[in-house]
Amino acid sequence: MSLSRTKRISSSSSMRSSSGSRRLSGFGPGQGGFTGVSLSSSSLYTGSNGHHHGLGAPLASLSVNKSLLAPLNLEIDPSLSMSRAHEKEQIKSLNNRFASFIDKVRFLEQQNKMLETKLELLQGQGVGRSNVEPLFEAYMAGLRRQMDLVNNDKTKLDGELRNMQGLVEDYKHKYEDEINKRNNLENDFVILKKDVDSAYLVKADLEDKVGALTDEINFLRNVYDEELRELQASIKDTSVVVQMDNSRSLNMEQIVAEVKAQYEEIAARSREEAEAWYKSKFDQMSVQASQFGDELRIVKGEVAEVNRLISRLQSEIEAVKAQRASLENQLAEAEERGELAVKEAKARTRDLEDALQRAKQDMARQLREYQDLMNLKLALDIEIATYRKLLEGEEDRLGQQSILNIQAVSTYSTKSTNGYHSNSSSPAPKLLIKTTETRDNSRYSTH
């Protein structure tokens, strides 16, 4: 049912009400009576019980004596006019509400049509996969690949770290072994240095002894020469004395020669023994000095070799320390890079999960809104159907009872003889006549 039809019904009802009021306006208090009652296409007749009934056939106009009629005081029922006004206002408010509902229904129908179109488009796309999900999946797959690469790099770096730790441990053990060797060599060096010092002291003592023996030999040689000179001098004196004692008839020359030979033999033997002892001592000291010199040279060579080994080990230790520091720095940087990459991957994963959660929440919110709109549409459809039924019922009621005329008529009971009315009349109570016009323009009256 449209809004124009409702307005047409209300306007026709108002016109009929005004016509009914105009029809009854002739019975005001200023009139002395009435000459007749016109009921348009239907008339009244009085039955045996005194009630008037509407007939389909027209009746002749009723002649009434004006002198017998008393003035009537007819008024329209105020409750009826108030109910009519209330019905008009209610119909207006219903029309306004219905118009607003119509606009709202049109808007909701447009929204519903748009949502149905979107739903058809979404259903026509396949299994409901949007274009955003493949992008998210591709991005997440890329992030997973990056995470796998990072994990592989981390595994590789962990292996390299373990290898480096093994190398560091090996170098550490080597370093400790070299430190132990160095300590042992330093101990050996100290021992050898002590031996060298003792050998040097022995050499110095031997040199001092050689000097002392040389001085002693020289002193003994001088003493021997002096004794030899004294002996020669004494022999010479003895020979003089012997020459003086020729009276004894001794062979002094032979004796002197024997003594001289004996002393010379003793001196030669002493000289030989001294020279042999000195030579043996000198040879022994020379041998010992050469041995000590050889040992000193060997010790000096060993000390130089130990010093070179110590310097080489120190350089190797410094290189190992530098390599260890570099490996530790590389390991720390690799761990930082790995942790940073893992943190970035986790952050990206969290961002993607948050974005996916937000997308799911938006989708759920849109579905809820769509469900709310569908529920609202269903409620509005139900309300519209209810109002349609109410309006159709009201339209049927107004169609069956569109014009209502109420008349108050004073009736008199008359006695007729041979078709003439007598002059005697008795007043009767007032009668309310309600004339109703139906949809097919037929009228019926009730009282």
Q: What is the pLDDT along the chain (447 residues), one digit of tens a residue?
A: 444 444 444 444 444 444 444 443 343 433 444 334 433 333 344 444 444 444 444 444 555 555 555 555 555 567 777 877 888 888 888 888 878 878 888 888 888 888 888 888 877 765 555 566 777 788 888 888 888 888 888 888 888 888 888 888 888 888 888 888 888 888 888 888 888 788 778 878 888 878 888 888 888 878 777 877 877 777 665 544 445 554 455 566 777 778 778 777 877 777 788 778 778 877 887 787 778 778 778 877 888 888 888 888 888 888 888 888 888 888 888 888 888 888 888 888 888 888 888 888 888 888 888 888 888 888 888 888 888 888 888 778 777 654 444 444 444 443 433 443 444 444 444 444 444 444 444 444 444
Token pair 């307005």 in the structure block, residue:
7
E strand spans, 31-118: 43-46, 52-55
405 shares a domain with 355: no
Shared domain check, 346 and 406: no
Residue 39 is assigned to a structural domain of this protein: no
Q: Which residue has the tokens 């940087």?
A: 333
Question: Could you give the number of structural domains in the chain?
Answer: 2
Q: Is residue 223 part of a domain?
A: yes
Query: Does residue 191 belong to any structural domain of this protein?
Result: yes
CATH number of 283's domain: 1.10.287
Instruction: List the structure tokens of 317.
Output: 């230790």
pTM of this prediction exceeds 0.85:
no
How many residues comprise the chain? 447
The answer to whether 447 and 429 are in contact (CB under 8 A) is no
264 and 351 housed in the same domain: yes
For tokens 């206002």, the residue is 89
Is the sign of the CA dihedral 307, 308, 313, 315 positive or negative?
positive
Residue 375 lies in a domain: no
Percentages (nearest 5) of helix, strand, coil residues in the chain: 75, 10, 15
- The SS3 of residue 109 is helix
Among 314, 343, 362, the domain boundary falls at: 362
Q: Are residues 277 and 153 in the same domain?
A: yes
Asked whether residue 168 falls in the same domain as residue 222, the answer is yes
User: Which of 362, 389, 424 is a domain's end point?
Assistant: 362
Residues 265 and 318 in one domain: yes
Q: Name 412's bridge partners.
A: 427
Residues 220 and 286 in one domain: yes
Question: Who contacts 61 (Cβ-Cβ below 8 Å, separation ≥6)?
Answer: 36
- Note whether 295 and 413 are same-domain residues: no
DSSP code at position 331: H
Residue 28 belongs to some domain of the structure: no
Q: What tokens does 66 get?
A: 């004006």
Residues 193 and 282 in one domain: yes
Number of H helices, E strands in the chain: 4, 7
- Residue 257 and residue 333 in one domain: yes
Quick count: other Cβ atoms within 10 Å of Cβ 432?
Answer: 11
Q: Which two tokens stand for residue 227?
A: 């004794």
Whether residue 20 is contained in a domain is answered as: no
Note whether 315 and 406 are same-domain residues. Answer: no
If asked whether residues 189 and 298 sit together in one domain, one would say yes
Which residue segment(s) compose the domain that 307 sits in? Answer: 134-362
